Amino acid sequence: MIPTSPAPAWRRFAAIVYDVLAVVAIVMVVGLLSQMVTGGHLFDDHGRMLTWWYQPLQGLVVGAYFLASWMRGGQTLGMRPWRIRVTDASGAPVNGKRGLVRLIVAALPLALVLIYPFTSMKAALWAPVIGWLVLLLPAWFDRRHRAIHDMVAGTEIRRLPT
């Protein structure tokens, strides 16, 4: 199946809603396995994390989900029902370099949680959401409906033929 024209931005946003559910499931499974490995001692009685590796592991597993999905068929679970796929500008599958650049740029807003020591927890949790909205905003106006991470990586979201 060869992707056709650029997908409208609303399809991308609909797929993101589905992908959030997939990411929550992945995070829950990694959390469960981590709790099993540590004998239930990931956190102390005050909610402080006791292991240095838990958050990086979560990030690596979620990142691997997206990267593997984009490189193996070009679709995450959320993209399948909306019949869209990540490709390069010519419609070819995404290679490792483009996929990794796309992943890194798309994940940059997560660094905004680091504002927590200087602000409230609420502000620190909303900051990445606002960052992702900024990254996605150009998809509504760009002729090819590309978000910033697509522009940087040289990728597009394309509709699949019906």
Q: Give percent above pLDDT 90 in the chain.
A: 80
pLDDT in the model for residue 3: 54
Alpha helices (H) along the chain: 9-37, 54-71, 96-107, 121-136, 148-153
CA dihedral 84, 88, 91, 93 (to 10 degrees): -80
Q: How far is CA 92 from CA 12, 26, 47, 64, 70, in A?
A: 19, 28, 46, 20, 11
Residue with tokens 């679970």, as numbered in its chain: 77
Q: What is the pLDDT of residue 81?
A: 96
Rounded to whole angstroms, the Cα distance separating 101 from 130 reads 20
Identify the three-state secondary structure at position 64: helix
Write down the residue that tokens 């499931």 correspond to.
25
Provide the pLDDT for residue 63.
97
Q: At what angle do helices 96-107 and 54-71 cross, to 10 degrees?
A: 130
The neighbour count for residue 139, using CB atoms within 10 Å, is 23
Q: What is the pLDDT of residues 106-123, one digit of tens each?
A: 999 999 988 888 999 899
CB 145 within 8 A of CB 8: yes
pLDDT tens string, the chain, 162 residues long: the values are: 455 789 999 999 999 999 999 999 999 999 999 999 999 888 888 878 888 899 899 999 999 999 999 999 999 999 999 999 999 999 999 999 999 999 999 999 999 988 888 999 899 899 999 999 999 999 999 999 999 999 999 999 999 987
Here the tokens at position 46 are 């005050």
Give CA angle at 11 (155, 1), nearest 5°: 60
Give, in order, the Cα–Cα distances in Å from 112 to each of 69, 86, 98, 107, 122: 25, 26, 23, 10, 12
